[in-house]
Chain A
Amino acid sequence: MRIPCPFCGDRDLTEFTYLGDATIARPDPEGPDAAQRFYEAVYLRDNPAGLLDELWYHGAGCRTWLRVTRNTVTHEVRGAVFANPHAATGAGA
Chain B
Amino acid sequence: MKQALSGHRGWGPAWRDAEPKSAYDIIIVGGGGHGLATAHYLAKVYGITKVAVVEKGWIGSGNAGRNTTIIRSNYLLPGNNPFYEFSMKLWEGLEQDVNYNAMVSQRGVLNLYHSDAQRDAYARRGNAMRMHGVDAELLDRDAVRRLVPFMDFDNARFPIQGGLLQRRGGTARHDAVVWGYARAASDRGVDIIQNCEVTGFLRDGDRVVGVETTRGAIKAKKVGMAVAGNTTKVARLAGLKLPIESHVLQAFVSEAIKPFIAGVVTFGAGHFYISQSDKGGLVFGGDIDGYNSYAQRGNLPIVEDVCEGGMAVMPAIGRVRMLRSWGGIMDMSMDGSPIIDHAPMPGLYLNTGWCYGGFKATPASGYCFAHLLARDVAHPTATAFRLDRYATGHLIDEKGSGAQANLH
For residue B203, CB closer than 8 A to chain A, the reply is no
Size class of A's contact patch? 20 to 34
For residue B242, CB closer than 8 A to chain A, the reply is yes
Binary per-residue interface labels of chain B (214-246) against chain A in the complex, 1 for a CB within 8 Å, 0 otherwise: 000000000000000000110000000111111
For residue B7, CB closer than 8 A to chain A, the reply is no
Size class of B's contact patch? 20 to 34
Max count, chain A CB within 10 A of own CB: residue among B291, B294, B295, B404:
B291
For residue B292, CB closer than 8 A to chain A, the reply is yes
CB-CB under 8 A from A72, the residues of chain B are 246, 292-295
Give residues 23-52 of A contacting B (CB, 8 Å): 36, 39, 42-49, 52
For residue B346, CB closer than 8 A to chain A, the reply is no
Taking the closest CB of chain A, its distance from the CB of B145, in whole angstroms, is 35
Whether B292 lies near A43 (C-beta < 8 A) is: no
Chain A interface mostly: mixed
Taking the closest CB of chain B, its distance from the CB of A57, in whole angstroms, is 12
Whether B301 lies near A44 (C-beta < 8 A) is: no
A interface residue numbers (CB < 8 A to B)? 1, 12-14, 18-21, 36, 39, 42-49, 52, 54, 70, 72-75
| Contact A47:B232 (CB < 8 A) given known A20-B403, A73-B294 | yes
Taking the closest CB of chain A, its distance from the CB of B176, in whole angstroms, is 30
Taking the closest CB of chain B, its distance from the CB of A49, in whole angstroms, is 4
Taking the closest CB of chain B, its distance from the CB of A51, in whole angstroms, is 11
Instruction: Beyond A43-B390, A45-B242, A47-B245, list 18 extra A-B contacts (CB 8 Å).
Output: A12-B301, A18-B290, A19-B404, A20-B404, A42-B334, A42-B407, A43-B391, A44-B241, A45-B244, A45-B245, A46-B232, A47-B246, A49-B246, A52-B292, A54-B291, A54-B292, A72-B292, A72-B294
Whether B241 lies near A46 (C-beta < 8 A) is: yes
Whether B403 lies near A44 (C-beta < 8 A) is: no
For residue B6, CB closer than 8 A to chain A, the reply is no
Q: Which of B242, B293, B294, B299 contacts A44 (CB 8 A)?
A: B242
Report Cα–Cα, A44/B82, bound state, in Å: 27
Which residue of the partner chain A has the closest CB to B304?
A14
Which residue of the partner chain A has the closest CB to B389?
A43
Report Cα–Cα, A45/B232, bound state, in Å: 9
Binary per-residue interface labels of chain B (392-408) against chain A in the complex, 1 for a CB within 8 Å, 0 otherwise: 00000000000110110
Which residue of the partner chain B has the closest CB to A74?
B295
Taking the closest CB of chain B, its distance from the CB of A68, in whole angstroms, is 9
17 contacts between A and B (CB under 8 A): A1-B299, A12-B301, A13-B301, A19-B406, A20-B292, A20-B404, A39-B390, A43-B390, A44-B243, A45-B244, A45-B403, A46-B232, A49-B232, A49-B294, A52-B292, A72-B293, A73-B295
Report Cα–Cα, A45/B333, bound state, in Å: 10
| Contact A43:B243 (CB < 8 A) given known A52-B292, A72-B293 | yes
Q: Which of B233, B243, B404, B406 contacts A49 (CB 8 A)?
A: B233
Report Cα–Cα, A26/B309, bound state, in Å: 37
Which residue of the partner chain A has the closest CB to B293?
A72
CB-CB under 8 A from B404, the residues of chain A are 18-20
Max count, chain A CB within 10 A of own CB: residue among B301, B406, B407:
B301
> Ordered nearest first, which 10 A-B pairs have the shortest CB separation?
A47-B232, A43-B243, A43-B390, A49-B294, A18-B291, A14-B301, A73-B294, A39-B391, A44-B241, A43-B334
Report Cα–Cα, A52/B295, bound state, in Å: 14
Taking the closest CB of chain B, its distance from the CB of A1, in whole angstroms, is 5
Which residue of the partner chain B has the closest CB to A50?
B294
Which residue of the partner chain A has the closest CB to B232?
A47
CB-CB under 8 A from A49, the residues of chain B are 232-233, 246, 294
CB-CB under 8 A from A1, the residues of chain B are 299
Whether A20 lies near B245 (C-beta < 8 A) is: yes
Report Cα–Cα, A75/B294, bound state, in Å: 9
CB-CB under 8 A from B245, the residues of chain A are 20, 45, 47
